[in-house]
Structure 1
Amino acid sequence: MMTHLMASKRVWIGMMFLALLLSASLSYPLYEKHLPQPDRFLYNEKQELIAKAPYTPLQAPPFGSDRLGVPLLYKILEGAKYTIGFAIFVSVFRIIFGAATGILLSMYAKRLKGITKGISQSFYNIPTIFMAYILIVPVYITLGINDPVPPTQWIIILFQLSVAVGVALPALTVFIMNEVDEHSKQEYIISAQLMGGSKWYIIRTHIRLFLKDKLFILFMQHVVQSMILFAHLGLLQCFIGGTRDVEMDFGEYKSVSLTSEWSGLIGIDRYEYNLAPWIVLGPMFAFAITIFFLNLIAAGVKDAMEKRVIVITKSIKQPKTPYKKHEAFQFAAASVQSKTADS
């Protein structure tokens, strides 16, 4: 499969985009001090006031700026590592816990499968975003202007990410459990069980190979789902990492995201859409283009899997039986009569 993956243009394009974006985001603190400092007022060469923040995309290309004069490109680059990193973190642990729990229930705890399915079905009627919001809000951080970032911030972030992992586990566990149950009906697995193969041997030899490709596709899908969950939390004013109040004009305060995570940029400034739509459209464009490339990678992986199946199918050929050209069939009595007539 690796050969087909390396030959897939979709996978290459998607991985290159993510690598460039994450590299620019991770190195952002190194060149941040060399960037022009944001200013809420824009002057021309004659020191005449020509504009006031927020600046349009023409005045501060390519995405414009926010009300503080900070170019949105800087914020998008700063928050990319958190947005994509948090989504990958959530997806990895969803797959690990979901796969482990689903396999264990299918192979070792068959009596609990009915209970697990019942619990999972009850979660279908409750939107995931509501469960995540209810669990995250009690430990949310909101800092004042001069409040230092508490040392427990990363503990709270880990709790928020753990909630994002947990809300999707019931459905994912049941899905993997059903896949393992269905695959366990294959003849070669039944034969392995009859020949004395242990459950751990079947998991290690057969189930692992069967789930390997499916889990990678699920991983890519859950990265996208995690980003969408963050966006929904942002619209509910619940941001990963918390917020800080920043003073504006005449004692007016505005909340800003502590991590510049993209869902925070969208949620905080959603009321600015009528006045300066680019403030919201910039992070939304970053979300959309990143999700597009993630889906592009997933499509490339699916194509590689299908090509591998085709190659394996073509390589399995039926053994050819050698063909001998036989003489025309004759009755023994007819042959004897012909010899008698000749004599």
Structure 2
Amino acid sequence: MTTLKNRLLIGFGAGFILLMLGWSILFHSQGSKIPKTVMTNGDEGFAAAPFSPSSQIMFGTDRDGYHMFYKVVDGAVYTLGAAIAISLVAFLLAFLVGVLMGFWKPAVRRYSDKVLMGFYFIPQSIIAYNVLYPLLWETEEGFITTLNERIIWTILVLAFIMLPTTAILISNETKEILGKEFIAGARVLGGSRFFLFWKHVLPHLKGRLFILFPKLVIQALLIIAHLGFFTIYFGGTDVCYDPAGCDPPKPFVQEWASIMGTNYSEIYNAWWIFMTPMLFFSLAIIALTATTKGLEGLLDPSVKPRKKKVISSHSHASSAVTAESFHRVGKEVSS
């Protein structure tokens, strides 16, 4: 039953992520445009955008009349795709660095750990903001980079920001495995470092690596969300410098965190404009958390289901304490 529960968690989590990604990729590949409803004529007369959620428009529209649900579908490939790409790059780099750190001598490891541990206490979003601001904030002269270049650089920068903490986690797991008794036996028999890694460390480590990856995706999503509220939007922030009057900064793509960052003040007016991307963003995190829980139950040997203690009627009866027991002991002592 526990195995079925874990598989259902993985199926729900991975299914939601793949469904949103696949739908968004299909939406882009077909060249579809976000539906727009600016004005309607109903029983109560003319009405203008924004329209609240209804049976005709499930998640409502924004102030320009664009349907919020299709904005979310359009932006899923940027939000989820970017988070997965960032996590994949960070994971591969951290795997190489972390495993090497695990094989280092204790004196060298202590020094490297002290240097990298500082990244646990410095908010990664603050580092990302300061590094990415010159790249993603549009100047008066405009961008000197293309949209694809900004996306690639953003993915690489965020991956390197996530690298130190992830490398420490993998390094600690590697050191724990290298401390086992069978590793000491393999070293005595002349096993090289590559042999120890390939035959002993990797088989024990790979299950934990599968569990680590969805956690990295959640971490990447949170950093992207924080940048969105700092008005540093994924793909670039479109800034107007017209002295005659300008709109607030806007994102170039319909990425979920960017939509939330642009419209967070709408929660007091047209709440669905902010809450629709927030809903799908939350569902993505819940799906990734469910995937992590399912993988932990299936792959991590340290997570074992609790066994209920069954006491038979025979053992219960034999261990029961009665008044006759006290009388019987008393007679034996007196004798």
> Which one of the candidate residues 288, 292, 302 is aligned to 2:296?
302
Closer, same or farther: CA 52–109 of 1 in aligned 2, 3 Å: farther
Q: 1:322 aligns to what?
A: none
After TM superposition, list the pairs within 5 Å mapping 1:228-247 onto structure 2.
228-244=222-238
Name the amino acid aligned to 1:28: F
Identity %, equivalent residues:
27
Structure 1 CA distance for aligned equivalents of residues 11 and 58 of structure 2: 26
Q: 1:261 aligns to what?
A: 255
What is the CA-CA distance between 1:111 and the residue it aligns to?
4.3
Q: 2:39 aligns to what?
A: 41
Q: 1:21 aligns to what?
A: 20
Structure 2 CA distance for aligned equivalents of residues 12 and 215 of structure 1: 19
Secondary structure (helix, strand or coil) at the match of 1:69 reads coil
Closer, same or farther: CA 306–132 of 1 in aligned 2, 3 Å: closer
2:209 aligned with 1:210, yes or no? no
Q: 1:10 aligns to what?
A: 9
Structure 1 CA distance for aligned equivalents of residues 146 and 29 of structure 2: 25
- Over residues 255-301 of structure 1, what are the superposed CA-to-partner deviations in whole Å (9 max), with x where a residue is unaligned? 43222111100001112221111111000000011111111111111
For structure 1, which runs of at least 5 residues remain unmatched after alignment?
A: 312-343
Structure 2 CA distance for aligned equivalents of residues 307 and 210 of structure 1: 9
Secondary structure (helix, strand or coil) at the match of 2:238 reads strand
- Over residues 74-104 of structure 1, what are the superposed CA-to-partner deviations in whole Å (9 max), with x where a residue is unaligned? 1100000111111111111222111211111
After TM superposition, list the pairs within 5 Å mapping 1:82-231 onto structure 2.
82-108=78-104, 110-142=106-138, 152-231=146-225
Which has the larger Rg?
1
Structure 1 CA distance for aligned equivalents of residues 238 and 301 of structure 2: 51
- Over residues 158-186 of structure 1, what are the superposed CA-to-partner deviations in whole Å (9 max), with x where a residue is unaligned? 22122211222222222221221121111
Q: 2:66 aligns to what?
A: 70
For structure 2, which runs of at least 5 residues remain unmatched after alignment?
A: 306-335
Closer, same or farther: CA 124–7 of 1 in aligned 2, 3 Å: closer
Structure 2 CA distance for aligned equivalents of residues 266 and 81 of structure 1: 16
Q: Is the 8 A contact 1:79 1:262 kept in 2?
A: yes
**How many pairs are equivalent?**
300
Q: Is the 8 A contact 1:106 1:180 kept in 2?
A: yes
Structure 2 CA distance for aligned equivalents of residues 110 and 152 of structure 1: 46
Q: Is the 8 A contact 2:51 2:62 kept in 1?
A: yes
Structure 1 CA distance for aligned equivalents of residues 41 and 138 of structure 2: 34
Structure 2 CA distance for aligned equivalents of residues 179 and 277 of structure 1: 44
Name the amino acid aligned to 2:38: R
What is the CA-CA distance between 1:115 and the residue it aligns to?
2.2
Structure 2 CA distance for aligned equivalents of residues 42 and 211 of structure 1: 59
- Over residues 296-321 of structure 1, what are the superposed CA-to-partner deviations in whole Å (9 max), with x where a residue is unaligned? 1111111212589879xxxxxxxxxx
User: Would you identify which runs of 4 or more consecutive aligned residues in structure 1 move more than 4 Å?
Assistant: 4-7, 30-36, 108-111, 306-311
Comparing 120-129 with 108-117, greater Cα deviation is found at 108-117
Name the amino acid aligned to 1:205: K
With normalisation by structure 1, the TM-score equals 0.79
Name the amino acid aligned to 1:127: P
Secondary structure (helix, strand or coil) at the match of 2:268 reads coil
- Aligned alpha-carbon RMSD (Å): 2.9
Closer, same or farther: CA 30–180 of 1 in aligned 2, 3 Å: closer
Structure 2 CA distance for aligned equivalents of residues 140 and 309 of structure 1: 43
Name the amino acid aligned to 1:230: I
Name the amino acid aligned to 1:157: I
